[in-house]
Chain A
Amino acid sequence: AQSVTQLDSHVSVSEGTPVLLRCNYSSSYSPSLFWYVQHPNKGLQLLLKYTSAATLVKGINGFEAEFKKSETSFHLTKPSAHMSDAAEYFCVVSGWGGKLIFGQGTELSVKP
């Protein structure tokens, strides 16, 4: 079975400092992994996707994630946070029957 655990429900950083959002996954198959972002009262926007082509995946807005099979992790990072990065972030693994399995989400706050 597939599952996702986001290790922090809330992360707070100062503008200009690095961001780290942690995600562990479980999958019976070679997974596709995603990070989506959701701004308040908005839909979900794809940040990046991993499908086994390269372990370091670059996404939009300066975000990137590294797939580590030995640690079953897919952490999201950004070198320098911006105020506009404040949002809810979801780590997602592909599942059987076309479904996406979402983590519980990490709320990112960015202080000026």
Chain B
Amino acid sequence: ETGVTQSPTHLIKTRGQQVTLRCSSQSGHNTVSWYQQALGQGPQFIFQYYREEENGRGNFPPRFSGLQFPNYSSELNVNALELDDSALYLCASSFSLSNLRWSTDTQYFGPGTRLTVL
């Protein structure tokens, strides 16, 4: 069974640029969630996709956007990068029976992408 994978491992961008991060979910999972973890902080929820549709969103601006593909892999796109976007970006996958707004599904995390914005 393949776990959650993310690419790239590390990325350096400059302020104002755009970035795309990728995530392959664990085999059998249909839901992907993205989190931002700033240095010394706990992860913060960005959004979740269930069967290619956004199922929930945290307190992040619209320049953070995402996609989920038919194979349940996912992308996180960030436009107009700011210095404060420097963080570890974590993807998590889970299996959900429905897009219930209140879910107790276990999320399994990938190793993350370290983004540095200069």
Give me the interface of A with B, judged by CB distance under 8 Å. 29, 32, 34, 36, 42-46, 49, 51, 90, 94-105
Residues on A with beta carbons closer than 8 Å to the beta carbon of B107: 100
* Interface contact B108-A46, CB-CB below 8 Å: yes
Residues on A with beta carbons closer than 8 Å to the beta carbon of B42: 90, 102-105
Residues on B with beta carbons closer than 8 Å to the beta carbon of A100: 33, 35, 43, 45, 92, 107
Which interface class (under 10, 10 to 19, 20 to 34, 35 or more) fits B? 20 to 34
Give me the interface of B with A, judged by CB distance under 8 Å. 4, 31, 33, 35, 41-45, 48, 50, 55-58, 90, 92, 96, 101-112
- Given A97-B57, A99-B45, A104-B41, are A44 and B109 also a contact pair (CB < 8 Å)? yes
Q: How far apart are B84's CB and chain A's nearest CB, in angstroms?
A: 18
Residues on A with beta carbons closer than 8 Å to the beta carbon of B31: 98
Residues on A with beta carbons closer than 8 Å to the beta carbon of B104: 32, 51, 94
